[in-house]
């Protein structure tokens, strides 16, 4: 699953993904809108750097997926801005946003008779003319995306007959075919075994570096993320901090976010252990 080198037009000029004064949660509801919004995370100021994988970490229920979905525009933010470079992503119509931002979710869906090739081709939808078929530029983008995750052998296979790891490759290829300026993935390693999880993070790191884009990944696997050695947004301990994962692992930030009366973070061994 190694990533081949990308050259020429395959390489996009990178821009950081920046979250400024963002509050996320769920809008108020009820008769007349009198129910107050349910705030999950408040006043966030974070940056996912171009060319790097940033892992969004935190305990279950802390708001990781809510934040990622809000950044992607899949649910409204309660305040603040999300920018890719100077572009305000949340101000864009959905199709224009999809041309700049690609998202891979863990939501299960019925793929019907869709083959791998059909799914990857869907990544070109934001760039296609209303009544046109696939152009040579679309085919080139699709071929490059498939090669990036070594998925050519899966193109004719029905998605319903793929393993979790194979399906994940195809969904990431679909996202890459969008030629996005940033890539967001919600728990992409959730259904993979341990070697495949580490391999996938390595692939994402290569994609981020070669395409010079920020890749933002939610995960519950802290030990795996530290071994992959990227950046992190860390939610827990009553605060949200960011920085290189090795620094957060060593300076007590991971311990503050995850330690319990029964389990503690071992900074020297980069793992959790029973007290």
Structural domain harbouring 200: 8-111+182-274
| Neighbouring residues of 19: CB distance < 8 A, sequence distance ≥ 6 | 44, 45, 46, 47, 71, 80, 81, 82
Burial 141-151 (b: 16+ CB within 10 A, else e): bbebbbbbbeb
Residue 18 lies in a domain: yes
Is the pLDDT at 146 greater than 70, yes or no?
yes
Tens of pLDDT, residue by residue over 62-115, are 999 999 999 999 999 999 999 999 999 999 988 888 889 999 987 777 788 899
Residue 242 lies in a domain: yes
| Predicted local distance difference test score (pLDDT) of residue 29 | 67
Residue 79 lies in a domain: yes
Report percent pLDDT > 70 for the chain.
Answer: 92
Work out whether the CA dihedral 51, 203, 266, 264 comes out positive or negative: positive
pLDDT band at 189, cuts 50/70/90? confident
Q: Identify the residue whose tokens are 């393993």.
A: 163
Tens of pLDDT, residue by residue over 205-235, are 999 999 999 999 999 899 989 988 889 999 9
Residue 42 lies in a domain: yes
Residue 29 lies in a domain: yes
Residue 120 lies in a domain: no
Overall domain count for the chain = 1
Tens of pLDDT, residue by residue over 36-62, are 888 999 999 999 999 999 999 998 889
- Token pair, residue 151, equals 């998925």
Q: How far apart are CA 89 and CA 12, in angstroms?
A: 18
CATH classification of the domain holding 198: 3.40.50.300
Residue 54 lies in a domain: yes
pLDDT band at 262, cuts 50/70/90? very high
Taking the model in full, what pTM does it have? Answer: 0.88
Residue 121 lies in a domain: no
């Amino acid at each position: 699953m190694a990533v081949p080198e990308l050259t020429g037009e395959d390489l996009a000029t990178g821009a950081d993904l920046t979250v400024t004064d963002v509050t996320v949660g769920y809008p108020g509801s009820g008769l007349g809108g009198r129910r107050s919004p349910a705030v999950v995370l408040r006043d966030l100021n974070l940056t996912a750097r171009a060319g790097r994988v940033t892992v969004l970490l935190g305990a279950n229920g802390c708001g990781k997926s809510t934040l990622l979905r809000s950044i992607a525009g899949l649910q409204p933010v309660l305040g603040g801005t999300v920018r890719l470079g100077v572009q305000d992503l949340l101000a864009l119509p959905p199709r224009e946003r999809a041309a700049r931002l690609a998202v891979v979710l863990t939501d299960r869906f019925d793929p019907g008779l869709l083959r791998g090739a059909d799914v990857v081709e869907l990544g070109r939808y934001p760039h296609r003319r209303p009544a046109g078929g696939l152009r040579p530029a679309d085919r080139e983008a699709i071929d490059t995306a498939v090669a990036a995750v070594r998925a050519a052998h899966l193109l004719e296979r029905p998605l319903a007959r793929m393993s979790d790891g194979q399906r994940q490759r195809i969904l990431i290829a679909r996202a890459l075919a969008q030629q996005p300026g940033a890539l967001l993935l919600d728990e992409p390693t959730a259904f993979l075994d341990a070697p495949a999880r580490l391999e996938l993070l390595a692939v994402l790191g290569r994609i981020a570096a070669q395409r010079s884009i920020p890749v933002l990944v939610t995960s519950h696997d802290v030990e795996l993320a530290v071994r992959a050695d990227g950046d992190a947004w860390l939610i827990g301990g009553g605060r949200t901090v960011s920085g290189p994962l090795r620094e957060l692992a060593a300076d007590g930030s991971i311990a503050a976010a995850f330690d319990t009366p029964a389990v503690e973070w071992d900074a020297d061994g980069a793992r959790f252990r029973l007290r």
